[in-house]
């Protein structure tokens, strides 16, 4: 699986991200040509080689000229992206990143996503950085994004349209809620709202970097020299090695003994639809011998808040237990396999260097209904064909 790893050595910003991808091998002219599909005028990309602690990196400048002073609202930016000739994947990823910023800004300023606006110059800069990042990820064929824990500054202030803001800025902190973050003692804005949104919207979480078979590396430079660390973002592109995977997952649990049991299937369905990795019930005996249910939910850190809202809204519980768990799992992906039923999506699992194909329930159900066959027969046929493929 082709992945990209954001190593936030000195934080992350939009221009650092573009610089890292250009350093990794994406030609600046090709990036500019793709960005022209947005239909924006009055900006140019400039790239220069700079050194940060002896490491050569690319510094990208978005040079903006002749821009009016009106504002673009979030919906205006979405409309601009939608009407462009960019690919659907770039459009979707760009809108997702912008949405993270809009939600955070709305929360910080007690407003709504629809009312949030981006100053014209800032909006052009953000459009170039965010859409450019989505273009770079597509160019390198990235399927999944991971990152290090995001480094943020602590102390000092930065200027904004609203005056001086503390570092890390309120929007950056809001965006990174639930994502692994390192609060450094460096009084500088290491992670900007744009950089934080790129991580939050695109990344599937943190990852052990030694598990990547590296194909390209790039360094994007920040604007200033830092005393303690190099002001760099490192982008590593490569293949995720087919070996045991390890990651962290959050377990949410609560015991319930006063709820109508007919409601549980609905709650489990909502949790699964909202991105829970797993949601299940375990019968328990509670105090005074009352029978109850333990509701368990497994999820990534970034999804904890959304799932807690469902638990508190849809159940009678008034409190939950949470803990972070370490997981070890076999590397897996979903692939299209040619079978006697035609093209079928199957789960591909690697163990000890060998690939194991596993039928997917939804695919088996689709075939059973379409062919008017017993579901168990579809499973049996596919399992036999997959076993023969593994031996070939």
**3-class secondary structure, 318:** coil
- The dihedral through the CA atoms of 364, 245, 141, 182 has a sign that is positive
Which has the closest alpha carbon to 151: 68, 234, 69?
234
**pLDDT at residue 55, rounded to an integer:** 95
End-to-end CA distance of the chain: 22
Contacts of 126 (CB under 8 A, 6+ apart): 14, 98, 101, 118, 194
Q: What's the CATH superfamily of 246-329?
A: Transcriptional regulatory protein pf0864 domain like (3.30.70.1380)
**pLDDT at residue 120, rounded to an integer:** 45
Report how far Cα 137 is from the mean position of its chain's Cα atoms. Answer: 12
Q: How many C-beta atoms surround the C-beta of residue 328 within 10 A?
A: 8
User: C-alpha angle 43/196/238, rounded to 5°?
Assistant: 90
Residues of the chain with pLDDT below 70 are 66-71, 118-122, 160-163, 208-211, 242-245, 352-353, 392
Task: Give the chain's length.
Answer: 392
Alpha-carbon distances, residue 337 vs 54, 125, 207, 356, 369 (angstroms) = 48, 43, 28, 12, 19
DSSP string, 72-135: EEHHHHHHHHHHS---HHHHHHHHHHHHHHHHHHHHHTT--TTT-EEEHHHHHHHHHHHHHHHH
Q: Indicate the pTM of the whole model.
A: 0.63
Q: Domain limits of the chain? A: 2-240, 246-329, 332-391
Q: How many C-beta atoms surround the C-beta of residue 62 within 10 A?
A: 20
275-287 tens-digit pLDDT: 999 999 999 999 8
């Amino acid at each position: 699986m082709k992945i990209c790893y954001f190593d936030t050595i000195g934080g992350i910003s939009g221009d650092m991200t573009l610089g890292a991808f250009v350093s990794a091998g994406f030609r600046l002219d090709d990036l500019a040509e793709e960005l022209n599909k947005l239909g924006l005028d009055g900006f140019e990309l400039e790239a220069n080689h700079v050194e940060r602690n002896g490491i050569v990196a690319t510094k990208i400048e978005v040079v903006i000229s002749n821009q009016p002073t009106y504002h673009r609202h979030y919906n205006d930016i979405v409309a601009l992206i939608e009407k462009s000739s960019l690919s659907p994947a770039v459009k979707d990823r760009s809108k997702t990143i912008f949405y993270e910023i809009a939600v955070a800004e709305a929360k910080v300023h007690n407003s709504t996503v629809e009312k949030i606006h981006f100053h014209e110059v800032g909006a052009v800069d953000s459009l170039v950085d965010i859409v450019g990042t989505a273009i770079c990820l597509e160019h390198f064929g990235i399927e999944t994004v991971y990152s290090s824990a995001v480094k943020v500054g602590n102390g000092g202030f930065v200027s904004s349209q609203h005056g001086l803001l503390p570092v890390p800025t309120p929007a950056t902190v809001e965006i990174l809620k639930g994502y692994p973050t390192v609060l450094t003692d460096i009084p500088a804005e290491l992670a900007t709202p744009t950089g934080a949104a790129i991580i939050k919207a695109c990344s599937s979480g943190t990852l052990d970097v030694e598990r990547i078979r590296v194909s390209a590396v790039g360094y994007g430079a920040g604007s200033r020299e830092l005393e303690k660390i190099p002001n760099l973002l490192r982008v590593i592109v490569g293949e995720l090695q087919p070996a045991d995977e390890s990651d962290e997952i959050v377990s949410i649990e609560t015991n319930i003994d006063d709820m109508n049991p007919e409601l549980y299937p609905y709650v489990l369905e909502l949790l699964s639809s909202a991105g829970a990795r797993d949601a299940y019930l375990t019968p328990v005996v509670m105090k005074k011998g009352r029978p109850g249910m333990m509701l368990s939910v497994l999820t990534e850190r970034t999804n904890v808040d959304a799932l807690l809202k469902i638990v508190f809204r849809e159940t009678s519980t008034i409190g939950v237990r949470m803990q972070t768990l370490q997981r070890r799992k076999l590397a897996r992906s979903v692939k299209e396999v040619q079978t006697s039923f035609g093209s079928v999506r199957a789960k591909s699992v690697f163990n000890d260097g060998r690939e194991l194909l596993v039928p997917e329930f939804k695919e088996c159900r689709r075939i059973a209904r379409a062919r008017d066959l017993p579901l168990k027969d579809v499973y049996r046929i596919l399992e036999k064909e997959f076993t023969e493929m593994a031996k070939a």
